[in-house]
Amino acid sequence: MDEFEKLLEAERVSVERFVRFRLNSKADADDVLQEIYLAACQKFHKLKNKDSFKAWIISIARNKCNDYFRTKAAQYEIPIDKITESELSDSRHGVSVVDAVRETLSLLDDKDKQILYLYFWKELPQAEIAERLNIPVGTVKSRLHTAKQKFKTKYPYYTEISKGENAMQKMPEFIPEYKIEASVEAPFSIKWEELMGWFLIPKLGESLSWGMYDIPSRKCSHIYDMRVTGKAKVHGIEGVELTAREAPYSGKNDVINRTFVAQLTDTHCRYLATLRNDGDVRNYITFLDGDEFMPNWGFGENNCGNETNLAVKGDIKRAGTVVTSADKGFLLDIVGRYTVTIGGKSYDTVCVMDIETYNCGVVSEQFLDKNGRTILWRRYNRDDWAIDRYRKKWSEQLPNNDRLTVNGITYVHWYDCITDHIL
């Protein structure tokens, strides 16, 4: 048995559970699994760190499932590309409902998919929908009500949805102009207590708003209001419960509320649970639930979380736009000291880089001030990230965006995040 077969055999159950959880049809799931194994075998020689095999093959499985849903969408004429143009991740490193929406749609029948698409994505009035489908307006209202109820029942997150609602605190419509200048001074050590990817410190009384900005347009796509709502326990471990309220900047679509539990200690910050909506049941998925939790929310050995006491380790080294790293998992390190000037204010920061710890093909820069608060967060995609879906390399899609070379591979700047801490 060669190395690939040994690694695959060790993770086969996890991959099958991942796929069968998402696909209703056993026959379709079997077909997708064969595509995953074939793709993994063909690409295995490109995997440099064999310790990350599980995360790597799960990312292949996720992409193959996405391709499956895209094909199904074409059958009932829902242009899924329009729904997923800004696909992000719903995890400890940011949030988007794209994957969950696609997967939930796949569980509905064709009539429900059709009515939801026409009403929410095409934003057609009910009278026009009735004309297009050649049915009475009363039938449109009835079908729309039924489809929304079915979607809400199957949607895997606890949500409170109201079309057009957006009473959230406004972040700027465009990210302020900024400049990042390398400092000759040595990087300082910091106490970083923020939740990885969500920017809120999980302590009682904390709240925060932040925005996500497309580059190069610099326009805000989504706004998030975060709040710690109280104490919580998960399997006897004490933490706090947090809510995250998300809405598009335009306010035209649904507002989505999420709930999760996190824990902050003197040395680490970690997620303990996330809340999913299974019909009328509030179902917490916790750190003991293995592959349902760990790929998106877990970090570190046995989900120890990210370290809060940060100092230069030397695992990641940076010279300008050239980055090199050690051959190990969970690559997160301070790579330099920078002055970030944004909105007319200057901040003395250190840059914390994360290399593919949560998503194969994604690198992030996080500029933190001496208080351990995020001044600016920037995401980069490997040039071929999700190429099966987007059909172009990122250097072609965003030719004028900044680039990094990480271990000889090109990564392209995609979007930024800022919080109300700097406003």
In a domain, 141, yes or no: yes
Quick one: 35 and 138 in the same domain?
A: no
Identify residue 227 by its one-letter amino acid code. Answer: R
256 in any annotated domain? yes
The reply to whether 227 falls in a domain is yes
Task: Residue 41: name the closest of 7, 64, 14 by CA.
Answer: 7
**Beta strands 322-325 and 403-406: pairing type?**
parallel
Residue 196 lies in a domain: yes
Clarify whether residues 192 and 134 are in a common domain: no
109 with 187, same domain: the answer is no
**Do residues 145 and 112 make contact, with C-beta atoms less than 8 angstroms apart?**
no
Query: Does one domain contain both 304 and 203?
Result: yes
In a domain, 367, yes or no: yes
CATH number at residue 287: 2.40.360
Residues 239 and 380 placed together within one structural domain of the fold = yes
What CATH number has the domain bearing residue 31?
1.10.1740.10
Q: Of 44, 75, 106, which closes a domain?
A: 75
Q: Which of 114, 134, 152 is the last residue of a domain?
A: 152
Residues 359, 247 share a domain: yes
Cβ(338)–Cβ(181) below 8 Å? yes
Sequential DSSP letters for 216-251: TT-BEEEEEEEEEEEEEEETTEEEEEEEEEEEETT-
Residue 349 lies in a domain: yes
Do both 269 and 317 map to the same domain? yes
Q: What is the pLDDT of residue 84?
A: 41
In terms of domains, do 122 and 265 share one? no
Q: What pLDDT is recorded for position 72? A: 63
List per-residue pLDDT tens for the chain, 423 residues long. Answer: 588 888 888 888 888 877 876 676 777 888 899 999 999 998 888 888 888 888 889 889 888 887 777 676 555 455 444 444 333 334 555 544 445 566 677 677 778 888 887 877 666 788 888 888 888 888 988 888 888 878 766 655 444 444 434 444 578 999 999 999 999 999 999 999 999 889 999 999 999 999 999 999 999 988 999 999 999 999 889 999 999 888 888 765 567 778 889 999 999 999 999 887 655 667 778 888 877 787 778 877 777 888 899 999 999 999 999 999 988 767 889 999 999 999 899 999 999 999 987 667 899 999 999 999 999 999 999 999 888 778 889 999 999 999 999 999 999 999 999 999 998
Domain presence at residue 157? no
217 shares its domain with 366 = yes
Q: Are residues 217 and 258 in the same domain?
A: yes
Q: What's the number of domains the chain is made of?
A: 3
Q: What is the extent of the structural domain holding 58?
A: 3-75
pLDDT of residue 29: 84
Same domain, 67 and 106: no
Q: Is residue 33 a part of any domain in this protein?
A: yes
Query: How far is residue 233's CA from residue 253's CA, in Å, rounded to a whole number?
Result: 33
The pLDDT of residue 100: 56
Task: Examine the domain organization and report whether 263 and 128 are in the same domain.
Answer: no
Which pLDDT does position 405 carry in this prediction?
96
CATH number at residue 122: 1.10.10.10
